[in-house]
Amino acid sequence: MANLYATTVGSTTFGANQGHTNRARNGLTKALAAFDIDFAVNGTDFSSTELGAGGAVKEVLATIATMGVIVGYSVLRADGGANAGQVMTVLIEGDFGTDTYDRTQYSAGNSETFAAHLEDLIQAKTSVGAGSVNLSSATVTAVAGFPMAAL
């Protein structure tokens, strides 16, 4: 049986776990967590103003990278309203539940979700990027399910 998730272009085959013909064993073999980041700065289209090397989007990605390995992220999109370039989805390698990510929470005997901790870190950025963006209202939400479609 051929690998159901493989695509051959010329003489090169692309796909997950090429040696497996068992469909149940095809996959990434690593846990991925997805998070929606809403920059919540209405009226600022981040896709046209904050994508540069010193932009707010790069600052947020650098912050997330301090907590885990980023394996991918989406293009910026509207937040459901008329606010273009406000939301992106970030994929991080790992399986994150409720834990003690924040030392202040830990010392108080509390735990918090990984998304809540990322939100705290991002909201602390009050003057970043090309336009001195204030991210104090940004939100981070864990995405349920896997947000990518397989080919």
Main-chain phi, psi angles of 116, to 5 degrees? -65, -40
d(CA 83, CA 46): 10
d(CA 45, CA 77): 9
Cβ(96)–Cβ(111) below 8 Å: no
**Who has greater pLDDT, 6 or 79?**
79
pLDDT value of position 61: 94
The tens digit of pLDDT for each residue in 49-65 reads 888 888 899 999 999 99
End-to-end CA distance of the chain: 18
Cβ(67)–Cβ(117) below 8 Å: yes
The DSSP string of 77-90 is B--SSS-TT-EEEE
**What pTM was estimated for this model as a whole?**
0.71
Dig out the tokens for 71 from the structure: 């394996």
The tens digit of pLDDT for each residue in 17-48 reads 445 555 555 555 567 888 999 999 888 888 88
**Each residue of 55-92: b (16+ CB within 10 Å) or e?**
bbbebbeebbeeebeeeebeebeebeeebbbbbbbbbb
Instruction: Provide the mean pLDDT of the chain.
Output: 75
